[in-house]
Structure 1
Amino acid sequence: MERGDLTREEWARLKPHLPKSGKRGGRWANHRRIINGVLYRQRTGVPWRDLPARFGKWKTVYERHRRWSADGTWDKIFAAILADADAAGRIDWSMVSVDSASCRAHQHARRSTQETPADAGKRTMPRQHRPDEGLGRSRGGLTCKIHLAGEGGQRPLALLVTPGQWGDAPQLIPVLERIRVGRLGGGRPRTRPDHLCRDKAYSSRRNRRYLRRRQIKHTIPEPKDQRAHRKRRGPHGGRPTGFDKTIYKRRNEVERTINALKNFRAVATRFDKRAYVFHGTVVVASIRLWLRA
């Protein structure tokens, strides 16, 4: 076992959730060696062609990662790992936080953009980007965003990849809707945390109505402009929002979760051209964090 490879304990927890054979009837090549190759690329950010020979053919490692990202295999493995963790009582449902992180797009990822006729044959960047590739132009250039819901133990529960210029508040509900932790003993999956904590960027009447409808307790500070607008409306502005400073101190837990994800260089900088492949990259990093727990 080399540095960064799966340990025996991690492999024992991961192996039962892996596919048994390929779609064409043949058996997959050594899963452990291939996954170690994917993790090596995640940790170092090297091009696929520069993978060490001990992982086998680079094309095999890349195609396995791409296919499992496309057909949702990584998502299914992630869901199974979460179900095991919940059955063992290792998920801290007492506090779930939501935040986002911007990831700069490497020049290798920018070729997934859509060229216009005026850009054909030029080396300049295309003017228009495909809306389904999760790339957008913001203050930092071409970026994408990872919207993340993390539990109190500083590990991911759900994630969403969007273009970099998209706001945080509109993505709160889609991220929370992706929280579905199955139960090994049967029954409905758990989708609702005990408490939600987030900063004022997620404060909106739509988000607060959604949380109240689902009976999720939340601690979200109210910005000054929203507070002033509510007071100007008088009795029609509604009641002041509740805010607990002690609970709000735990807002850093999801930020530390994002820092742990960005320790993987292939997550901190987006090298993948396609959004679904980059989503798979972030999911693999999340799986590794849970295996290390």
Structure 2
Amino acid sequence: MGRGDLSDEEWARLEPHLPRTMGRGGRWQCHRRVINGILFRQRTGVPWRDLPSRSGKWKTVHDRHRRWSADGTWERILRAVQADADADAEGRIDWSMVSVDASSCRAHQRSAGARSRPPRTPGRRRTPVRHRPDEPLGRSRGGLTCKIHLAGEGGLRPLAFTITPGQWGDAPQLIPVLEQIRMPRTAGGRSRTRPDHLGGDKAYSSRRNRRYLRRRHIKHTIPEPRDQRANRRPRGNQAGRPTGFDPEIYRRRNEAEGTINRLKIFRAVANRYGKRAYVFHGTVAVASIRLWLYG
């Protein structure tokens, strides 16, 4: 067992949720060795070909991660691990306060260049493109970046996340992130989708977001920016009541920042190396699974 590999206790919690067969009678190679290889690449950010020999063939590790990212296996495993934590007798998920935040991830120079059209055929010219419009890559002040929007619980572990281009705003992604929260119940019944309280910085303050939270009966602590207050006051009663704000509760908003910091310990998350969005999405899901197994 190498440094950073899954311990026996962590493996015992993860193994029941892994796929048994690969279809058409095929059998997977050793899950534990391959997943440890994926985690090694997540932590270090090395090219796939530079994986240590104890991980087996690098192409097996690469193809396993790419395949499970494409078919949603990592997402299903993450939901299952979260459900186990929610059903734990110790109640390891803190639903009393869920915070939302976003962070930009610098894209490696080779992460751009995914084809947006079929390759050029003989006798036909095509215009070169930098990156596909459906791969969440964009330019911000930090250069070519993408952005992770997430909702984290009080234990500094992600509940849900989405990936967008780096120049996209935070407020429009609040609803998509909350819609991703879906915690299955091992004892049966409807999945839990609503936290007790939501915290966010002033970037998430908008009438649309507040209407959505009120409709779902989610208490929230989101400060109102100065310009929004100035625009509301001249409208008088038509603008509605001022937004409530509790500074004591707002102190817990930094839990989302702590969750992002824990995710970015993995270099493959802090820097996007893959061209395809679904592969990077699977990379963030694997890092999230690792954080849940830590707890």
Normalised by the shorter chain, which TM-score bucket?
over 0.9
Displacement of 1:252: 0.6
Q: Which runs of 5+ in 2 are unaligned?
A: none
Aligned to 1:162: 164
Aligned to 1:173: 175
Aligned to 1:123: none
Q: Secondary structure at the match of 2:67?
A: helix
Aligned to 2:85: 85
Structure 1, residues 194-224: CA drift from partner, whole Å, max 9, x if none? Answer: 0000000000000000000000000000001
Correspondence 1:33 to 2:33:
yes
The match for 2:141 among 136, 139, 142 is 139
One-letter identity of the residue aligned with 2:44: T
Q: Which runs of 5+ in 1 are unaligned?
A: 121-125
Contact 1:99–1:149, Cα closer than 8 Å, also in 2: yes
Structure 1, residues 257-281: CA drift from partner, whole Å, max 9, x if none? Answer: 0000000000000001100000000
Aligned to 1:203: 205
One-letter identity of the residue aligned with 2:9: E
Displacement of 1:118: 7.2
Q: Secondary structure at the match of 2:94?
A: coil
* Cα root mean square deviation, aligned: 1.3
Q: Secondary structure at the match of 1:59?
A: helix
Displacement of 1:174: 0.2
Q: Secondary structure at the match of 2:233?
A: helix
Aligned to 1:2: 2
Aligned to 1:61: 61
Contact 2:116–2:133, Cα closer than 8 Å, also in 1: no
Contact 1:101–1:258, Cα closer than 8 Å, also in 2: yes
Correspondence 1:276 to 2:278:
yes
TM-score (norm 1): 0.96
Q: Secondary structure at the match of 1:272?
A: coil
1:246-265 maps to which residues of 2 (within 5 A)? 246-265=248-267
Aligned to 1:24: 24
Aligned to 1:109: 111
Aligned to 2:42: 42
How many residues end up aligned between the 2 structures?
A: 287
Displacement of 1:110: 1.2
Aligned to 2:240: 238
TM-score (norm 2): 0.95
Identity of aligned residues (%): 74
Name the CA distance, whole Å, in 2 between partners of 1:48 and 1:108: 14
Name the CA distance, whole Å, in 2 between partners of 1:240 and 1:148: 27
Q: Secondary structure at the match of 1:104?
A: strand
Name the CA distance, whole Å, in 2 between partners of 1:64 and 1:222: 45
Contact 1:197–1:248, Cα closer than 8 Å, also in 2: yes
Q: Secondary structure at the match of 2:75?
A: helix
Name the CA distance, whole Å, in 1 between partners of 2:3 and 2:115: 36
Displacement of 1:78: 0.2
